[in-house]
Structure 1
Amino acid sequence: MKVLGLPILTVLFFGICPAFGGRPRGRILRGQEAGAHQMPYMASLQEDGKHVCGGFLIAPQWVLSAAHCLEDTVNGTFQVLLGAHSLSNDEPHKRLYSVRRLIPHPGSGRNHNDDDLLLLQLSEPAALGTHVQTLPLQREDREVPAGTLCRVAGWGFTSNTRKRPDKLQYVDLPVMSRAQCNERTFHDGDITEKMMCAESKQKDSCKGDSGGPLICNGIAEGVVATGSRVCGNWKKPGIYTRIAPYLTWINEVMGLAN
């Protein structure tokens, strides 16, 4: 994949082509407000000053998110807000960065949930410190044991009435085994080896949380992808894109674009 020499704000729509099964892409329901700047790696992907999706800082100049977030933009451009707890209040370490390149995984697309990852190269390296930090990625391609309690955070809807928070929310969810998640009662065989599930019994990620990290034992294991039309539906566990299988692609893109 060649990304060198692309103009500022170039969008590489590899396979972004209508939505899979009618599901809302990305979907924190019945969670709680995070401590201020407790998660300094969190990013808000914004268009015209409005939050669209989540993401997280993985290197000083790179944010990882979900490719389907591009479907929610009008003109395919983002700015990235870092160092924020509140989206609206003045905060001394909050800063909005322009984006040099948006690079979706070439296998991603509107009509399926495969390869749902997006890399954003900031126009300049983020100023790291107490309020802005990177989050380590899982580098061992292994399954997270079922029942492991993992955390997901974001500024997405906090209820099915589309209430959106101003301050960062989080929820802790147990991982569901792929075998169980693929049962007919749940996702009926749709969950590939590059995906993972977390239970959604009333607590769930919700619309606007897409692209945020699923963090297990301090490591980013997955990226919020999709789930039920109604957040918190126990029959449709949240689906997350596993990160470890994509490390080669992530490293290649970040290396090529330097």
Structure 2
Amino acid sequence: MVSLQYRNGANFTHFCGGAIIDKSWVLTAGHCSIYGYKVKDQRIAAGSSFLSQMTTTVPLKNFYLPKNYSGVFNDIMLLQLQKPLKFGSTINKINLETDIGKNYTGDMCTITGWGVNGDGNSPDRLQILSMPAVNKTYCGTANFMPETLWNNILCLQEIGKDSCTGDSGGPVICNNDNKLAGLLSFGLGCNGPTPSVHTKIAAYLDWIKDTMNTKNKKNTKDKKNKKNTKSKGKKSIKNNRNRN
């Protein structure tokens, strides 16, 4: 679990959650991009369940959205970090759920976040909540979503419990299997009458892997070219000295 933060004067403020899936990559909700914060003014914070005690912060290098992203539809985003995280006891990656046909209805799922709580305040300590998954047909209909997207969502609902503002992009883990099943997308109000909607990770595996592979290869190529340029520059300097 990480906190996605934006520069607010001399400080940084939490606005979305996210999940580490690789040393240089974090998954979050696509709509976290709509706030319009510049990449250079964003970072992730990790290493503690308390926002005030984060041990590691890393600026963003870039972010990537699916081509078919549209508001809360296909609501997923990859964050590329400027430098890789160092994994240890408090910072590590989570494996992705790969079974796209998995039916979570009735399963207990855990969500986490630093979003607004019941008294309207933003907590410093990470909040943890378990809720049952509900039928995708009921959820899609209740939230006015087109049927073509019902296989791409995971929905949770329990009266008196819910996620809220600031929890967007936070991870969902079901049945304690330690796999990233979803990311919080939206809900009609906090503790509203309809289920909260989460982007189902397994539905976007190809996009996630393709994007990461393409960008990682580009980074490797850029580093190699940069190294070659430096080497050629040193050689030219040496040759010039010899000619003198």
Report the TM range for the smaller structure's normalisation.
0.7 to 0.9
By how many angstroms is 1:211 displaced? 0.5
By how many angstroms is 1:99 displaced? 1.0
Aligned residue in 2 for 1:119: 78
- The one-letter amino acid paired with 1:134 is K
Change (3 A) 1:66 1:182: closer
Quick check: 1:53 aligned with 2:11?
no
Quick check: 1:228 aligned with 2:188?
yes
CA distance in 2, matches of 1:151, 1:256: 32
Aligned residue in 1 for 2:196: 238
TM-score by length of 1: 0.76
CA contact (8 A) 1:66 1:223 kept: yes
Structure 2 unaligned segments of length 5 or more: list them: 217-244
Q: State the percentage of identical aligned residues.
A: 30
Matches within 5 A, 1:105-116: 105-110=66-71, 113-116=72-75
Where 1:88 maps in the other structure, the secondary structure is: helix
Aligned residue in 2 for 1:187: 143
Aligned residue in 1 for 2:104: 145
Aligned residue in 2 for 1:255: 213
By how many angstroms is 1:84 displaced? 2.2
Aligned residue in 1 for 2:46: 82
Matched residue count: 207
Aligned residue in 2 for 1:175: 133
By how many angstroms is 1:141 displaced? 1.1
Where 2:96 maps in the other structure, the secondary structure is: coil
Aligned residue in 2 for 1:14: none
Please list the CA deviations of residues 126-180 of structure 1 after superposition, one character each: whole Å capped at 9, or x if unmatched: 0000000101110111233311000000101112x53110011110010001122
By how many angstroms is 1:240 displaced? 0.5
TM-score by length of 2: 0.80
Question: Relative contact order, CA 8 A, sep 6+: which one is greater?
Answer: 1
Name the one with the larger helix percent. Answer: 2
By how many angstroms is 1:244 displaced? 0.5
By how many angstroms is 1:46 displaced? 0.3
CA distance in 2, matches of 1:74, 1:145: 35
By how many angstroms is 1:120 displaced? 0.6
Structure 1 unaligned segments of length 5 or more: list them: 1-41
